[in-house]
């Protein structure tokens, strides 16, 4: 599979208009469900049908990978936590497992570049592994050209596998100590922001860590800006195997007309690149939440997305998207199940 994506069709405008019109017939004052109405309209347009059907198989894919930059003191936690958390996802003990269970979603974990040999992990987890840890993006490329192509191919194949397996609503989650640094670099490269505008606290770094991270982002951005017009080169230079696979997964979901709930800053960085890989992909996405990472707000602004939740979350794993799944379900069921003024014999607003 190549790194060139087919064109993305927009969601159905006919279903969108039908959903807008249907909202006017339901037993509530015009527009009274606010953004829940817009969300239902988006679901109808993605499904190409009104009323839309409740999603039957929401699926969260957590892309795990380590980052060489983590060795330079830019995270509050050591890299070994990435592999330990992969094990935790597999035994169901992580936040995303709990949130997914509540939301009726299932979780899959893929090891794209965790810094371990992957021994003992199920084949489905390690099948797409590209390398052990991506490069330190302040001073070297994250990946070779072959590796970035392999990661993009993997992301597309994973989206295809999930959609062919019946997934009808997708989330890309992330797990990788240090990954908010390459994410910040990608976001600055694609929005034109200055380094200081994208430095966040990540897992909770102190002021000295913040200074080291700002320096790493400045150095990485100097390298990334040279290739910012080429999304594959950008992922190779400043991303990593996990982020490259996420970007390809998000773009391929749009190619396959499958809606996505975006998570926080790492998914956001991948989404910005995905929009460059396959223009128009963002019409297939909603933003689950606004992460406290400052760079995430730049992503939301650039993609023109309004987050469904503002819960001051900064976990990753797909958690902010999973927390928003119930809202998507409610918005869908409102359009599908509410009575109309005619059905219920309720008097409509006079002209």
Ligand X SMILES: Cc1cc2nc[nH]c2cc1C
Q: Choose between 134 and 179: whose C-beta lies nearer to ligand NCN.
A: 179
Question: Considering only CA atoms, which of 182, 184, 155 is closest in space to residue 170?
Answer: 155
Q: Which of 180, 203, 258, 332 binds ligand X (CB under 6 A)?
A: 203
Closest-CA residue to 86 (of 58, 49, 126, 52): 126
Residue 166 exposure: Cα atoms within 13 Å on the Cβ side: 5
Phi, psi of 104 (to 5 degrees): 75, 25
Q: Total residues contacting ligand X (rule CB under 6 A)?
A: 8
CB of 45 to ligand X, least distance (A): 32
* Binding partner at 202 among ligand NCN, ligand X, none, C-beta below 5 to 8 Å by kind: ligand NCN
Nearer to ligand NCN, 270 or 328 (CB): 270
Judged by CB under 6 A, the chain residues 148 through 187 that form the site for ligand NCN are: 174-181
Which of the residues 157 through 176 are near ligand X (CB under 6 A)? 175
The single residue of 18, 275, 276, 317 carrying the catalytic annotation is 317
Q: Are residues 45 and 286 in contact, defined by beta-carbon separation less than 8 angstroms?
A: no
Judged by CB under 6 A, does residue 264 bind ligand X? Answer: no
Token pair belonging to 233: 């080169």
* 317 is a catalytic site residue: yes
Residues of span 257-296 touching ligand NCN by CB under 6 A: 263-266, 291, 293, 296
Residues lying near ligand NCN in the complex (CB under 6 A): 75-76, 174-181, 202-203, 263-266, 291, 293, 296, 314-317
Q: What residues make contact with ligand X under the rule CB under 6 A?
A: 77, 81, 85, 175, 203, 315-317
- Which residues are designated catalytic? 317
């Amino acid at each position: 599979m190549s790194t060139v994506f087919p064109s993305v069709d927009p969601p159905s405008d006919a279903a969108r208009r039908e959903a807008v019109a249907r909202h006017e017939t339901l037993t509530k004052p015009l527009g009274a469900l606010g953004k829940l109405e817009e969300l239902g309209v988006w679901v109808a347009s993605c499904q190409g049908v009104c009323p839309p059907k409740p999603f039957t198989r929401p699926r969260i894919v957590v892309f795990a990978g380590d980052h060489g930059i983590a060795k330079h003191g830019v995270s509050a936690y050591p890299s070994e936590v990435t592999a330990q958390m992969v094990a935790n996802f597999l035994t169901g003990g992580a936040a995303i497992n709990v949130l997914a269970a509540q939301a009726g979603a299932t979780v899959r974990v893929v090891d794209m570049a965790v810094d371990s040999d992957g021994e003992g992990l199920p084949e489905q987890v390690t099948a797409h592994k590209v390398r052990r840890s991506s490069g330190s993006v302040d001073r070297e490329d994250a990946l070779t050209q072959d590796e970035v192509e392999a990661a993009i191919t993997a992301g597309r194949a994973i989206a295809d596998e999930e959609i062919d397996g019946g997934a009808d609503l997708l989330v890309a989650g992330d797990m990788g100590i240090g990954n908010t640094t390459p994410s910040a670099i990608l976001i600055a490269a694609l929005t034109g922001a200055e380094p200081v505008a994208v430095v966040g606290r990540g897992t909770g770094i102190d002021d000295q860590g913040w200074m080291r991270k700002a320096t790493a982002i400045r150095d990485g951005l100097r390298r990334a800006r040279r290739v910012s017009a080429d999304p594959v080169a950008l992922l190779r230079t400043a991303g990593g195997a996990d982020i490259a696979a996420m970007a390809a997964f998000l773009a391929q979901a749009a190619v396959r007309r499958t809606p996505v709930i975006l998570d926080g800053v790492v998914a956001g960085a991948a989404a910005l690149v995905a929009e460059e890989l396959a223009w128009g992909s963002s019409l297939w996405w909603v933003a689950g939440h606004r992460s406290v990472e400052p760079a995430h707000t730049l992503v939301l602004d650039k993609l023109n997305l309004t987050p469904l939740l503002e819960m001051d979350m900064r976990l990753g794993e797909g958690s902010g998207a999973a927390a928003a799944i119930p809202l998507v379900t409610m918005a869908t069921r409102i359009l599908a199940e509410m009575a109309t003024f005619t059905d219920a014999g309720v008097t409509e607003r006079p002209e």
